[in-house]
Amino acid sequence: MDRRNFLRTSAGAAAGLTVMSALDASSAKATPPRLLIDDVLSQKYPFTLPALGYADNAVEPAVDAQTMSIHHDKHHAAYVTNLNKALETQTALQGKTLRELLTGLATLPDGARNAVRNNGGGHANHAMFWTVLAPNGAKAPSGTLAAAIMRDFGSVAACTAALKAAGLAQFGSGWTWLVRDGGGKLTVRGSANQDTPITDGGKPIVGVDVWEHAYYLKYQNRRTDYLDAVLGALNWDTAASAYGA
């Protein structure tokens, strides 16, 4: 059974039938998917945890349901809670969007900068992760994004290999990213902790969490197996929407 049939079958067996139908590949092609990352970057204080938008088991076997549930409901939620705590007394920052906070980190007061860097970054980065894990998307890039990947990496395989290498090279907690710079060029890079390419003016196209909490329950210490599975499960439709024209 391929993944799409697996998802339809499991969706029919679970309560998530309505959600899964709404995310069906045929409707996704007619209407470009709305990106969770864009919603979250537009948020202002008080920030809120967005719904995942799909069932906890929708990305199995790459991401098991228990990891997905804890990761979204506990880890991501904690970044949102702590970001709100950090801004509780920073009234001058409460009117700023998350994008403005992250791109303006250097200008923030000393009492808020690190908390916004860590928790604001965590909020945005996880929204990006959920965006590119959304089920039922294209298995390979197409259109403008595919052309840009060919131009800058030579092949899709070389691009995903670079994402994997950056994820493996990230010592300790962090992320691996496919980023569009201001000129449209694509690069792969890692980041530590919850640092985000958004702060440096980059536009994340793909972001994969390599903190141990993202994979330890299923993969234990095997980050390489986790990266193979997740990079093989990416939704290239949402990545293409993030890339834009």
Binding site for Mn ion (CB under 5 A): 75, 209, 211
Closest CB to Mn ion: residue number: 209
205 CB-near residues (< 8 Å, 6+ apart): 145, 177, 178, 179, 180, 186, 239, 242, 243
To the nearest whole angstrom, how small is the minimum distance from the Cβ of residue 216 to Mn ion?
11
First to last CA, the chain: 34
Beta carbon of residue 191, minimum distance to Mn ion (angstroms, whole number):
12
List b or e across 173-192, with b for residues whose CB sees 16 or more CB atoms inside 10 angstroms: ebbbbbbbeeeeebebbbbe
Collect all residues with Cβ–Cβ distance below 8 Å to 135 and sequence separation of at least 6. Answer: 3, 7, 20, 23, 54, 58, 59, 235
**Alpha-carbon distance 42 to 96, whole Å?**
9
Query: Closer CB to Mn ion, residue 75 or residue 99?
Result: 75
Toward Mn ion, which CB reaches closer, 60 or 209?
209
Least separation in angstroms between residue 95's CB and Mn ion is 28
Is 191 in a helix, a strand, or coil?
strand
Buried residues in 36-60 as b, exposed as e (16+ CB within 10 A): bbeebbebebebebbebbbbbbbbb
Q: How far is the CB of 88 from Mn ion (least distance, A)?
A: 23
**Cβ closest to Mn ion, residue 76 vs residue 96:** 76
189 φ, ψ (degrees, to nearest 5): -150, 160
* Cβ nearer to Mn ion, comparing 98 with 240: 98
Shortest Å, Cβ 20 to Mn ion: 24
* Cβ 85 to Mn ion shortest distance, Å: 19
- Residue closer to Mn ion by CB (options 171, 183) is 171
H-type alpha helices, 14-73: 17-22, 25-30, 36-42, 65-70
Q: 20 or 124, CB closer to Mn ion?
A: 124
